[in-house]
Structure 1
Amino acid sequence: MTHARSKTVPLNGSPDETESAFYEALRHGDIEELMACWSDDDDIAYVRPSGSRLLGAGAIRDEFTAVFAKGPVVLRRMQVNRVLTLSSAVYSVVEQLRLTQPTPRLAVLLVTTVYHKTPQGWRMVVRHSSPGRLPAAHVIDTPRPALLH
């Protein structure tokens, strides 16, 4: 499978540029740009926050198409940690999402993304998302409890 030439994922860019392009695609609901961030390898994998694993570009495309059908993805990246080598990069990120369905609320995901340097540039090969939580001091829009004293 080959992707059309991406507008935002550079051919000879850095893993940071691919990571940024992925989050821009999420924000704009652009499935073509999002898929351009992934490797063409048949063995790419996405582990959903529910714990189920999707293998291959077709399954990943279907998943994110369904996500985009629910409306914009509003999130804030926090606590980004990177491990880089010459041919791979691993990003560990805390994402805070603003959900609107079934009721408005905030959710936290702990995300690990693996990038490989390919002939097309740095591309995602694995993304693993798990539910998480932050200490109250890091959560936005959370009312503080009243003092009892």
Structure 2
Amino acid sequence: MTTIFTTPEDAEEAFYDAISRADLDALMSVWSEDEEIVCIHPTGQRLCGHAGVRESWRNIFEGNARFRVHLKHSMRWKGVLHAVHNVVEMLYLGNDPTPHGPILSTNIYQRGANGWRLLLRHTSSGNEDASDDDAGAAGAATHTLH
């Protein structure tokens, strides 16, 4: 049975939860059924389609200890059919309390018959000197597009 994500935030929460559990099937269930999905990892590699995206995450999960992602400085824009979330990710590997990052990520969600799904994810390495004050007052902003 397909999970219906009623908001882009629900889809994003499920995505990061799947990462923390290294659950490839749960992670892929968040992605759009559209074959034209795109994932760009911090290495700069552009992956298109389910097979390429799935294989890349399989390799990440197999090659690393479990990790979790803490989000900060979320900026969100939401329209009727699309939502864009730009976040700063801090990675925690295994039981190591030292964060790795920041990683700058843009996640684009699309609303369809099965709710909100991830359509595109683009990540890149961020500035190691980024502080909590860098985002300013707009760091947690939420916008609605009409």
Is there any run of 5+ residues in structure 2 with no aligned partner, and where? 133-146
Segments of 4+ moved more than 4 angstroms: none
**In the alignment, residue 62 of structure 1 is paired with which amino acid?**
E
**Residues 136 and 91 (structure 1), Cα distance of their counterparts in 2 relative to 1, 3 Å cut:** closer
The residue that corresponds to 1:108 in the other structure is 102
Alignment of 1:1-149 (within 5 A): 5-6=1-2, 10-11=3-4, 13-69=6-62, 70-99=64-93, 106-135=100-129, 137-138=131-132
Asked if 2 retains the 8 angstrom alpha-carbon contact of 1:99 and 1:107, the reply is no
The number of residues matched between the two structures is: 128
Q: Aligned-residue CA RMSD in angstroms?
A: 1.8
Q: Secondary structure at the match of 1:43?
A: coil
Asked if 1 retains the 8 angstrom alpha-carbon contact of 2:40 and 2:46, the reply is yes
Q: Give the TM-score normalised by the residue count of structure 2.
A: 0.81
Asked if 1 retains the 8 angstrom alpha-carbon contact of 2:102 and 2:130, the reply is no
Asked if 2 retains the 8 angstrom alpha-carbon contact of 1:31 and 1:61, the reply is yes
**Residues 67 and 136 (structure 1), Cα distance of their counterparts in 2 relative to 1, 3 Å cut:** same
Is there any run of 5+ residues in structure 1 with no aligned partner, and where? 139-149
Q: Give the TM-score normalised by the residue count of structure 1.
A: 0.79
Deviates more, 1:17-26 or 1:65-74: 65-74
**In the alignment, residue 24 of structure 1 is paired with which amino acid?**
D
